[in-house]
Amino acid sequence: MPESQTISKATVDLLNRSAQEYQKPKYIRFDPIAIPHGFDDPLDIEIIGLFAALLAWGQRKTTLSKLEDLCTRMHYSPANFVNTFDDNKAKMLGGFKHRTFNSDDAVWICRNLSSLYTYHGSIESLFRSSISEDDTNIGAGIEALSKFLSQQPQTPLRLSKHLARPSKNSACKRLCMFARWMVRRGSFDLGVWEGIRTDQLVIPLDVHTGRQARKLGLLRRKTNDWQAALELTTICKQIDPVDPVRFDFALFGIGAYAEKDT
């Protein structure tokens, strides 16, 4: 656990101002979260939300296009597609590809999600049952989800590279972002999950957030790994103990948007 450190008023003001700015609805259409925002059923939202998080790398325009393609293949009913997944559905994913994520990966994610729904009812249920009231972060939930999806019988080893785990000291950026989408309520995040507190969420740490956090003196660890993600989240809890991950909007927004305007 990082030592408590003094955060200047100017930095606090910048973070609060930027967090408010960059979680406005107008930014949704540029973000992969736009895809799950197009659904109403919580099961549809969590399934396509997981795919949106896993595919959220590279140019956003391309990611959104690939996610729209995936929705089309699923006939805009992700929950039904997963729960009735069979060889015919697998063929519908043929040829799908986004960077290193290919059709085989999509098939195995769907196949293993189908098993997850059989045993647990939802991703939310598995995630929530893996976290105790005393846990300070969602690491156990991420670990449980990644292990289930990557360790079902006959699952190819390559799938694990898309499913980060805290035990491997990955920052788990995409799954932390997925959890933020599912848990937080507001004009940007979806807030369809119950029973997980916002103070248990972990900031999705990537190049943008890491660079800005270090510039502002919020992060000392040099490597963007799980320990760094926890360190940054703990520091942000000094400003907002209840909802520290809202500063993800500030750190990412400053890096991804503000720097382009300078």
88-138 pLDDT tens trace:
999 999 999 999 999 999 999 999 999 999 999 999 999 999 999 999 999
- Which pLDDT band, with edges at 50, 70 and 90, does 58 fall under? confident
For the cut 80, the answer to whether the pLDDT of residue 259 exceeds it is no
**How many structural domains does the chain have?**
2
Where does a domain end: 195, 223, 242? 195
- For residues 257 and 149, membership in a common domain is answered with no
- For residues 38 and 154, membership in a common domain is answered with yes
Predicted model pTM: 0.95
pLDDT for res 262: 36
For the cut 70, the answer to whether the pLDDT of residue 207 exceeds it is yes
The Cα–Cα gap between 11 and 109 comes to 41
Q: Which residues pair with 98 in a beta bridge?
A: 101
Where does a domain end: 195, 212, 239? 195
For the cut 60, the answer to whether the pLDDT of residue 194 exceeds it is yes
- For residues 17 and 36, membership in a common domain is answered with no
Instruction: Give me the domain span that covers residue 64.
Output: 31-195
pLDDT for res 4: 62
For the cut 60, the answer to whether the pLDDT of residue 163 exceeds it is yes
pLDDT cut 90: percent of the chain above it: 91
Angle between helices 9-22 and 247-256 (to 10 degrees): 80
What mean pLDDT, rounded, does the chain reach?
Answer: 95
